[in-house]
């Protein structure tokens, strides 16, 4: 498994492509894979300043 700091860095880079079009959404999650075969699911929540904040991750099954 990769360190949380690396997973967060990659997730933060990918985040703009997953932001919901509905501005009232407060949570989101998505999966991504770090080659060759490690997949993760990450979660974000919108804070009081309308910023998406990384809240956690878990390894994802293929």
Count the alpha carbons within 13 Å of 47 in the hemisphere toward its beta carbon. 6
Residue 62: pLDDT band (50, 70, 90) is low
- Residue 43: pLDDT above 90? yes
State the pLDDT at residue 45. Answer: 98
Residues present in the chain in total: 62
The residue-averaged pLDDT of 1-29 equals 96
3-class DSSP assignment, residue 13: helix
Please count the CA atoms within 13 angstroms of the CA of 18 that sit on its side-chain side. Answer: 20
| CB-based contact 43:57 (threshold 8 Å) | yes
- Mean predicted confidence (pLDDT) in 27-37: 96
| Dihedrals phi, psi of 15, to nearest 5 degrees | -45, -45
Q: Mean pLDDT, the chain, as a whole number? A: 95
Domain region containing 8: 4-19+26-59
Q: What percent of the chain has pLDDT over 90?
A: 95
* Residue 1 confidence (pLDDT): 81
Number of structural domains (the chain) is: 1
Structure tokens at 2: 């990769």
């Amino acid at each position: 498994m990769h360190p949380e700091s690396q997973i967060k860095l990659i997730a933060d880079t990918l985040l703009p492509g997953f932001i919901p079009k509905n501005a009232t959404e407060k949570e989101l999650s998505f999966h991504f894979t770090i080659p060759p075969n490690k997949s993760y699911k990450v979660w974000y929540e919108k804070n009081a300043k309308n910023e998406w904040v990384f809240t956690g991750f878990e390894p994802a099954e293929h």
